[in-house]
Structure 1
Amino acid sequence: MTSATAAPTGYRWLRPVWRLVWCVLLTAVVLWPFMVAVVTGHRREALVLRDMVVPGTMALNDLATGADGIARAVPQDAVLALLSPVIPPPVTVGVIMLVCGVAGSWGASLLARRCGAPGVGQGVAAALVLWNPYVAERLLQGHWSVVAAGMLLPLMALWVMEQRRVLPVVVLAVCAVTPTGLILGVIVAVVTAGWRRAALTPLVAGLVLSLPWVVPSLVNSSGTLTDSAGAALFAARAEPFVGTLGALAGLGGIWNASAVPEHRVAWAGVLLCLVAIAVAVVLGRRGAWTGPVRRLSLLAVAAVTVPTLLATGPGLAVLGALLESVPGAGLLRDTQKFVVLALPALVVLVSRVDMLTGARTLAAGITAVLVWLQVPLLPVDLSELRPVPLDPRYAQVVEVVEELAATPGDAGIDHPRTLLWPPGNYRIIDGRPALDPLLKMLPGAPVDPGYLIVDGTIIDGDEAMVSVLSALARGEDRLAEAGIDLVLVEGAEVTPESLAVLADHDLVWSAGDWGLYRVR
């Protein structure tokens, strides 16, 4: 596959300019909620949806640093917390997403150009990076940092192909905001480079960049084991008429049906995948399916088939055994998130649809329609991501806890350990299910029990803390024994038994049906 023919000298500047304009326009249309977060830029609003909770201020607490031994949001929350005094976290996230959107689509167009795609094919490649079910589903689940890394994968492949040394490491550093993103970036870099000396740089860089979450996991290996039931809970989900394989082939199939965009056309993704396969066949017949493109294509096949197999009975059994016996294997249980590894190959193959017919513009136009049809109203579907104002009581209770932490002597509480009540780390905020923002905002060591409920059964989580929570719900007081300093009651949905226990402790702050108790 050769590079596209260069434009006449007098017009060379047009291609880079219009390519950038197209990428910026795509990013603004798809990621508009993050643009709103950047433009508004104040601390009274937050990005709140499921696993994404980015309040206006964040604390560098034990959950952000992984000091509690559970590196769930490390290092992304640490980065946001460190910048929080200067830049509101929603603004930081917004900037990261917008920059990654532009850079990722721009990189995809250049990757397509390097592989011989015509101009319209390059435009389709740029669109595919942003306009796909993976971006929609993962953002609706709240996995913004995974999406940011996924969008950068074609750029990673391009720079490795061009034998750049520093730039791929820069991309890896951005991907490393989340452990999954780092894994994705390293895999694409190594596969693109092949098993040559060039692969050593991303491997070494990846090892160094993984230390913020690997070290806590190794130190607390017992806390990183998970229940085998998580394999079935997070397995890739079949979609109507296309099944699990078809859903994954179209970059969809997230485990949570509630995170699937309302306007989703699964068969369009399947057709797009078939187009990519047809192009690969033609390339093979012409002897051009070689080198990095071949390796990335094989990676794409693995990215689709492996999660499909792991969603079967035998696959769930194997993955479940790994989850219960291998520390840190929980990082792999959400298998669908790795399907984005197919994106670089899809970008290249779909952009070369001109190889299937002499009508280049028509073929590229049909492909562009398929890209659009996958999620035809994507900007509307992502409207839930727009920033929302938080209840002012969140900021008020944080101020109270910060004052207690800053007060010397017995009157204060050094490194307060705060339990949020009712139990569980999810709340309904502005009609949206979301992680409790106080886990990100409180100083010290807010308690995240970390459990999940599957078919009425509790899995994962700290067994000792789950036992304390169960006891409190029954009216038994084990708070001091568990090292709890403060208990925050949020709302009226608490049992009379637990309120009776808390009544024996000191109420230090209240507002409406919220109350902060200091454990005696």
Structure 2
Amino acid sequence: MRSVAREERPGVDSWLARIVAVVTALLVMAPTLGPGRYTLVSDMVFVSAPALSARSWGADGSVPRAVPMDALLALASHVLPMWLVQQVLLLAIVGLAVLGAWRVSPARTIPGAAAGALAFGWTPYTAERLAMGHWSLLLGVALLPWILLAAIRFDGGREPLAPRAPWALVLLVAAGAVAAPTAGVLTGGLALALIVLPRFRSRDRVVLVASVVVFNATWVLPGALADALTSTDPRGVAAFAVSPDTPWGGVVSLATGGGLWNTLTHPTSRGIPVAVAGSLVLLAIGLLGWSGSRAWWDEPATRARGVVAGLALVGLLVGLASLTPAGRDLLVWTTGHVPGGGILRDAQKWVAWWVLAVSLGVGPALERLTRPFSAREATFLVGCGAVLPLIVLPDLAWGVNGRLVAHRWPDDYAAAAQVVNESAAPGAALVLPWHAFRAWSWNDQTTVLDPWSRLLDRRTIVRDDLEVRAGVVPGEDPEAAWVTARLAAGELTPEALRQHGVRFVVEDLTTAGQDPGTEPAGEVVFEGRWIRVVDLGPVTGALPVSGHVGAVLTLDLAAGIWLIIALVGNAEERRRRVLCFAGKSSRGRQQP
């Protein structure tokens, strides 16, 4: 097959890559678009006016679940409307994944590159994580092919155009660490694995290792210093273990990119044997693309892809471990005894490396399989292979089959938050009813994480226990555990709350099907259709104050300075390349 070669038509290849990326992103995210509207589902919570609080930086002693992303979103809200920020980020999840996978694909033809791009951007992994609201994790996953591409360019560059320092990799590592803790590990892990490539000098390796450590420390340090409860409860690992989303078990589910623990996120098509068989065909094609690799350490691109293959096996093994008793026991021990070990509980997310590795093999395999055919026939057949991911997983289209739909926040939320935030009275806020998730009628009864810790600029106590199929997984916040114990004993009185440092109670009035909890006595300072805020009066006690604010903010400042250095370094590299290109073009015109 020799048709539509990428090398011969780089301009066409580049523009088609962008067009396919944009169209694919719109095909998935169209229902989430619209001015003033927000997509709220499960863990995906965007509010119109996020508060820039100590919690958002991880400096209040609470468990840092979205640090430092929450702080950056709060800062961004002063420049852009948050509905626009969310919609751009959601489009980037798919668009960047498809475009990056296209750019890094080893396929020689445009249809082959398209096949690899869609094999990475259109997967059960993306569908199930979107349905779970894991947008920040997926943003990090979308950066993986770009990290691989940056490493290939650095390892294979030739003077004078070769990058002199891996600043592009540093910026990608920073973006992954900012997105989410797991995203930071996925992107940082890939970057660290790639430093074995031969062109990386000792100083380059030091720069990359330092970058991974510093940027990820922005959430690691607050987590290590947090007043968090630890648990070795095996229900936590069992709850987040791989859950088969196909009729053929957990191994098939993982190998084809699915198997998220929450069965409610599983696409309907994953239960149809014919569709799963199609996914297995796609998997076989991807693996076939690796079988022809020879002398894999001789070329920069093959070296880098070989590193990805090794990391992919590690990710797959972590996922498979949750399917075995011995593996679960190891995860239980790690969760309870290793700082940050809880990040391994959701074992399926680590197959992101595997999904990338499989997608890298799809294009070359299709090109090899179609060699006996004419150029036109081969182009058609590879094109059919490119749309196979869409055929076997139609559920990802149109907001994961209608699960992602944008709505407007009722005015009550911003108004109630303003009342609390404008109060100079010291004290925390408690959110009732005592549930971690809400289901509002104005949001189509879609389950979504409680938003008040993002709306209020003071310490906000919300339940962090997780109710799952295996039972209740204990949370990590000692203040939330105190409230749970008081509620169980019937002792959650206004006096007890004031003594514990709680000044305000925010009541969700219309969460469907949930116990309204207590009726706190105090002054009602706001009451609307959806929200009531009660002022309990002056507090007689106080919540523990973190003594590590200085350490956290100092680290954030250091990370910010290092980020600026990387931005300047990368800009200088780009300027040098432009000048080199201009010089070469000028010399070419002067030749007779």
Which band: TM-score by shorter chain? 0.7 to 0.9
Counterpart code for 2:500: A
Give the 3-state SS of the residue equivalent to 1:517 in structure 2: strand
How many Å apart are 1:233 and its aligned residue? 0.5
1:53 is aligned, of 12, 32, 45, to 45
User: Partner of 1:154 in structure 2?
Assistant: 145
| Cα distance in 2 between the residues matched to 1:169 and 1:205 | 6
Matched, 1:119 2:110: yes
Matched, 1:378 2:396: yes
User: Partner of 2:174 in structure 1?
Assistant: 173
How many Å apart are 1:271 and its aligned residue? 2.0
How many Å apart are 1:178 and its aligned residue? 1.0
Alpha-carbon deviations, 1:228-247, whole Å to 9, x = none? Answer: 32111111111333211111
**Change over 3 Å in CA distance of 1:299–1:391 after alignment to 2:** same
User: Partner of 1:19 in structure 2?
Assistant: 17
Work out whether residues 133 and 251 of structure 1, in 8 Å CA contact, stay in contact via their aligned partners in 2: yes
Give the 3-state SS of the residue equivalent to 2:39 in structure 1: strand
Matched, 1:398 2:404: no
How many Å apart are 1:519 and its aligned residue? 2.0
| Cα distance in 2 between the residues matched to 1:223 and 1:403 | 32
User: Partner of 2:578 in structure 1?
Assistant: none
Give the 3-state SS of the residue equivalent to 1:488 in structure 2: strand
Query: What is the percent sequence identity of the aligned residues?
Result: 26
User: Partner of 1:491 in structure 2?
Assistant: 509
Residue correspondences, number: 496
1:279 is aligned, of 260, 269, 289, to 289
User: Partner of 1:410 in structure 2?
Assistant: none
User: Partner of 2:480 in structure 1?
Assistant: 465
How many Å apart are 1:221 and its aligned residue? 6.5
User: Partner of 1:102 in structure 2?
Assistant: 95
**Change over 3 Å in CA distance of 1:374–1:169 after alignment to 2:** farther
**Change over 3 Å in CA distance of 1:33–1:200 after alignment to 2:** farther
| Cα distance in 2 between the residues matched to 1:12 and 1:466 | 59
Counterpart code for 1:482: H
Give the 3-state SS of the residue equivalent to 2:423 in structure 1: helix
Counterpart code for 1:384: R
User: Partner of 1:368 in structure 2?
Assistant: 386
Counterpart code for 2:44: M
| Cα distance in 2 between the residues matched to 1:465 and 1:283 | 54
User: Partner of 2:574 in structure 1?
Assistant: none
User: Partner of 2:224 in structure 1?
Assistant: 218
| Cα distance in 2 between the residues matched to 1:131 and 1:102 | 10
1:419 is aligned, of 425, 430, 449, to 430
**Change over 3 Å in CA distance of 1:31–1:170 after alignment to 2:** farther
**Change over 3 Å in CA distance of 1:306–1:514 after alignment to 2:** closer
Matched, 1:517 2:534: yes
Counterpart code for 1:276: G
**Length-normalised TM-score, structure 1:** 0.88
**Change over 3 Å in CA distance of 1:106–1:465 after alignment to 2:** closer
Q: Where do 1:126-137 residues align within 5 Å?
A: 126-137=117-128
Work out whether residues 282 and 388 of structure 2, in 8 Å CA contact, stay in contact via their aligned partners in 1: yes
1:325 is aligned, of 315, 320, 337, to 337
Counterpart code for 1:232: A
Work out whether residues 65 and 78 of structure 1, in 8 Å CA contact, stay in contact via their aligned partners in 2: yes
| Cα distance in 2 between the residues matched to 1:276 and 1:495 | 50
Work out whether residues 7 and 108 of structure 2, in 8 Å CA contact, stay in contact via their aligned partners in 1: no
1:446 is aligned, of 444, 455, 460, to 460
| Cα distance in 2 between the residues matched to 1:271 and 1:147 | 24
1:182 is aligned, of 178, 181, 184, to 184
**Change over 3 Å in CA distance of 1:456–1:346 after alignment to 2:** closer
| Cα distance in 2 between the residues matched to 1:171 and 1:31 | 24
Report which stretch shifted further, 432-441 or 191-200. 191-200
- Structure 1: 5+ residue stretches without partners: 406-412
Work out whether residues 286 and 358 of structure 2, in 8 Å CA contact, stay in contact via their aligned partners in 1: yes
Alpha-carbon deviations, 1:200-239, whole Å to 9, x = none? Answer: 4332211111122112112126446564321111111113
Matched, 1:231 2:222: no
Give the 3-state SS of the residue equivalent to 2:506 in structure 1: strand
Work out whether residues 116 and 352 of structure 1, in 8 Å CA contact, stay in contact via their aligned partners in 2: yes
Matched, 1:339 2:351: yes
How many Å apart are 1:512 and its aligned residue? 4.3
| Cα distance in 1 between the residues matched to 2:280 and 2:195 | 29
Calculate the aligned-residue CA RMSD, in Å.
Answer: 2.7
Matched, 1:355 2:387: no
**Length-normalised TM-score, structure 2:** 0.78
Work out whether residues 245 and 304 of structure 1, in 8 Å CA contact, stay in contact via their aligned partners in 2: no
How many Å apart are 1:14 and its aligned residue? 2.5
| Cα distance in 2 between the residues matched to 1:276 and 1:63 | 43
User: Partner of 1:408 in structure 2?
Assistant: none
Counterpart code for 1:171: L
Work out whether residues 54 and 89 of structure 1, in 8 Å CA contact, stay in contact via their aligned partners in 2: yes
User: Partner of 2:588 in structure 1?
Assistant: none
Work out whether residues 235 and 471 of structure 2, in 8 Å CA contact, stay in contact via their aligned partners in 1: no
| Cα distance in 2 between the residues matched to 1:244 and 1:236 | 7
How many Å apart are 1:318 and its aligned residue? 0.9
